Amino acid sequence: VNGLLEAGVRRVVYAVGDPDPRVNGRGARLLREAGVQVESGLLEAEAEALNEGFMMRLRRKRPFIRLKSGASLDGKTALANGESRWITGEAARADVQRWRAQSAAVLTSASTVLADNPRLDVRIETPRQPLRVILDRRRVVKKGAKILAPPGRVLIFAAASAAKSRQTAPEKFGDATIERVKRKGSHLDLARVFARLAELQVNEVLVEAGPRLSAALLGAGLVDEWLVYLAPKLLGRDARPIAALPRLKRLKDAPGFELRESTIVGNDVRLRLRPRKKG
Ligand SMILES: NC(=O)c1ccc[n+]([C@@H]2O[C@H](COP(=O)([O-])OP(=O)(O)OC[C@H]3O[C@@H](n4cnc5c(N)ncnc54)[C@H](OP(=O)(O)O)[C@@H]3O)[C@@H](O)[C@H]2O)c1
């Protein structure tokens, strides 16, 4: 603001205000008081889209959550025996690297860590490694799991004892940090997990999980964007679904998505979906 006033700027047009309560609207007010003509809203939607994670964190106190799934043409993500590497091709996996690189955190479940032993790090050039987050309610991930190896930090969320919402003293597990969160029903409270990530300044999270956690997030309205890599192959009826959602009785209750983009990536298709707003 001072810089603009000193430079003698008479008219300021900005795209979107900063929702941070410490600054929200103050700059515009000071400029107006100094006699500068101030307007907002120019390319507002585009500016919001560029800063979606930041806006989400400040307004909703949680990060922007992007779920990634790799599936077959018949909507399956793993064989019945758990084998899922690799349904999609090399180009799709390289594409996932870019999404990881732009995320402040990559989140998965202990169940997927045990099944696939993924690293979930970024193997392309990147200014930072995302924080790798594991939901491990029962602390079943063992030392030696590839996800615990450098580079990058690892945060494990485990269940808190019934009395405490979050333990204050940090616990270590090798180089990883353990934080305790309360349960909701029989699982970790996902809302608390994401609220904590927002506190840690995480704007965007990429979730790479299997059918149960994916279903839980979709069911809880905790998916802001869904990236589905569809491989043109068939895995058969006893393979695992992309999301293990409960049975529906009426088609009109089927969760729907808006198709924002479909792109050919190697021999697969990447769909970018946004949940359809209700009403
Ligand atoms: N194709 C892909 O994109 C892809 C990606 C990742 C994994 N996979 C495959 O998926 C399979 C693993 O699937 P999965 O279903 O066992 O694991 P998952 O969906 O990754 O995670 C399941 C765990 O999530 C937690 N969870 C479930 N509902 C929850 C809720 N409402 N709130 C909070 N936490 C909740 C539970 O942990 P607690 O029981 O401890 O509470 C549950 O054990 C593997 O075969 C893997 O290969 C495929």
Q: Of 70, 75, 123, 61, which is closest to residue 98 (Cα–Cα)?
A: 123
Mean pLDDT throughout 151-170? 79
Ligand 1, atom nearest to 216 Cα? 31
Q: By three-state DSSP, how is residue 90 classified? A: helix
Order of all β-strands in the sheet with 257-265: 171-173, 176-181, 154-159, 131-135, 105-109, 204-208, 64-72, 225-231, 268-275, 257-265
Residue 82 Cβ contacting ligand 1 at under 6 Å? yes
Q: Of 246, 274, 249, 248, which is closest to residue 260 (Cα–Cα)?
A: 274
Phi, psi (5° rounding) for residue 147? -65, -20
CA angle in degrees (0–180, nearest 5) for 20-22-26: 95
Residue 88 Cβ contacting ligand 1 at under 6 Å? no
The model's pTM is 0.94
Residue 213 Cβ contacting ligand 1 at under 6 Å? yes
Residue 219 Cβ contacting ligand 1 at under 6 Å? no
Closest residue by Cα to atom 26, ligand 1, is 213
| Residue to mutate (ligand 1; options 212, 218, 228; most atoms within 8 A of CB) | 212
Q: What is the pLDDT of residues 239-264, one digit of tens each?
A: 999 999 999 999 999 999 999 999 99
Name the band, by pLDDT with cuts 50, 70 and 90, for residue 176.
very high
Judged against a pLDDT cut of 70, whether residue 168 lies above it is answered with no
Residue 193 Cβ contacting ligand 1 at under 6 Å? no
- Expressed in percent and rounded to 5, the helix, strand and coil fractions of the chain are 25, 30, 45
Q: How would you classify residue 165: left for phi > 0, otherwise alpha for psi between -120 and 50, otherwise beta? A: alpha
Cα separation, 50 vs 236, whole angstroms: 40
pLDDT more than 90, % of the chain: 89
Torsion sign (Cα): 217, 221, 227, 232:
positive
The whole-chain average pLDDT of the chain stands at 94
Q: What is the pLDDT of residues 97-134, one digit of tens each?
A: 999 999 999 999 999 999 999 999 999 999 999 999 99
Ligand 1, atom nearest to 184 Cα? 32
Chain Cα centroid distance, residue 1: 34
Strand partners of residue 58 = none
Residue 207 Cβ contacting ligand 1 at under 6 Å? no
* Tokens, residue 162: 């019934």
Mean pLDDT throughout 188-194? 98
Say which residues have a Cβ less than 8 Å from residue 74's Cβ, sequence separation at least 6: 234, 235, 236, 237, 239
Q: Would you give the DSSP letter of residue 211?
A: H
Closest residue by Cα to atom 45, ligand 1, is 82
Mean pLDDT throughout 179-193? 97
Question: How close is the Cα of 273 to the center of ligand 1, in Å?
Answer: 20
| Res 162: pLDDT | 65
Parallel, antiparallel or unpaired: strands 171-173 and 176-181: antiparallel
Cβ of 14: how many Cβ atoms within 10 Å?
17
